[in-house]
């Protein structure tokens, strides 16, 4: 009986997964995301895993902001046949249109907060701020302390995206969009310090906003919903609410949650996990972090001290 011939076939290696920004997944030490409708946040880092190059074809997704969360990164960015090397200190940014093909050699490890912003969002923010254009100047390696602060505020949110408060993310997105239009848009924008009286909310609008926020103490409420009820644009509402109350809507909501928590801790025997749920926190650990940040002690320690 003749031996059956066995044919050996080489198995081609599976290509490494490449994300929508041209980063190879197995070269990333951090790959976190919080996906919204118009603004998406990502943390991408390659610490200890050497990334070499990113290539990203042109898309119609809007603009991309990158903020270095630590210094020491260098990249060589290509523009046709020309290339230019940029160094990124902590807080340095790059800003580019996603409609332009992108290619860069990564010469060292990186740790960036990436913010992908739709064209519709930038256009809306520009209109709300009185700008007559939505084009933004491309940047690379430019220091921007404001965006650095906002990017670092998103770091804990991306670590626990299931605990993200929609109101906080909305406010942060609006702050980033307004800063980009004001700082990097060539069109005229409304002055930041003009007309305090015009920026304050009428008292009826303040009360309406507070009623809506208190009724949805779980935080599952967008800035847009409250702004619509007050018949204002989102950016105008946020600035006017802060001017009228001394707090952002998110800060006001957190204060109300804590007030409810103080009463429950003092007057009931509810377990801490149940107090957290009743007061709109995601879970007990989230409640403990926010409570300790406000008071300097944990809820359990506070309860034992006052009861």
* Cα 254 from Cα 219, distance rounded (Å): 9
pLDDT of residue 192: 45
What pLDDT is attached to residue 155?
A: 93
Q: Which regions of the chain are under pLDDT 70?
A: 1-16, 49-51, 131-133, 186-199, 218-219
Task: Please tell me the predicted confidence (pLDDT) of residue 48.
Answer: 74
Rounded to the nearest integer, the mean pLDDT of the chain is: 83
pLDDT at 272: 93
Tens-digit pLDDT profile for residues 126-160: 887 776 667 888 889 989 999 999 999 999 999 88
Would you state the pLDDT for residue 65? 96
For residue 219, the model assigns a pLDDT of: 63
Q: What is the pLDDT of residues 43-96, one digit of tens each?
A: 988 877 666 788 889 999 899 999 999 998 999 999 877 888 999 999 999 999
Strand 39-45 with 139-143, pairing: unpaired
């Amino acid at each position: 009986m003749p031996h059956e011939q066995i044919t050996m076939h080489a198995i081609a290696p599976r290509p490494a997964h490449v994300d929508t920004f041209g980063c190879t997944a197995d070269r990333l030490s951090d790959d976190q995301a919080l996906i919204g409708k118009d603004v998406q946040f990502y943390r991408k880092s390659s610490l200890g895993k050497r990334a070499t190059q990113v290539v990203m074809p042109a898309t119609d997704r809007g603009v991309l902001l990158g903020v270095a969360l630590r210094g020491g990164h260098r990249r060589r960015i290509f523009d046709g046949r020309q290339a230019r090397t940029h160094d990124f200190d902590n807080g340095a940014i790059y800003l580019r249109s996603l409609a332009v093909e992108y290619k860069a050699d990564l010469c060292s490890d990186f740790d960036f907060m990436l913010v992908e912003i739709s064209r519709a969002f930038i256009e809306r923010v520009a209109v709300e701020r009185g700008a007559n254009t939505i084009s933004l100047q491309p940047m690379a390696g430019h220091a921007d302390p404001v965006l650095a602060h906002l990017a670092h505020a998103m770091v804990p949110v991306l670590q626990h995206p299931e605990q993200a408060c929609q109101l906080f993310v909305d406010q942060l997105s609006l702050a980033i969009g307004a800063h980009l239009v004001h700082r990097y848009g060539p069109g005229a924008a409304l002055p930041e310090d003009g007309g305090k009286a015009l920026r304050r909310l009428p008292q009826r609008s303040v009360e309406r906003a507070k009623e809506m926020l208190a009724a949805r103490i779980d935080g599952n409420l967008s800035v847009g919903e409250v702004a619509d009820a007050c018949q204002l644009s989102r950016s105008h509402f946020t600035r006017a609410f802060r001017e009228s109350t001394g707090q952002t809507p998110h800060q006001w909501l957190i204060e109300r949650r804590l007030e409810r928590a103080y009463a429950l801790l003092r007057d009931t025997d509810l377990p801490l996990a149940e107090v957290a749920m009743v007061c709109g926190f995601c879970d007990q650990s989230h409640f403990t972090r926010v409570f300790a940040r406000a008071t300097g002690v944990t809820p359990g320690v506070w309860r034992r001290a006052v009861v």
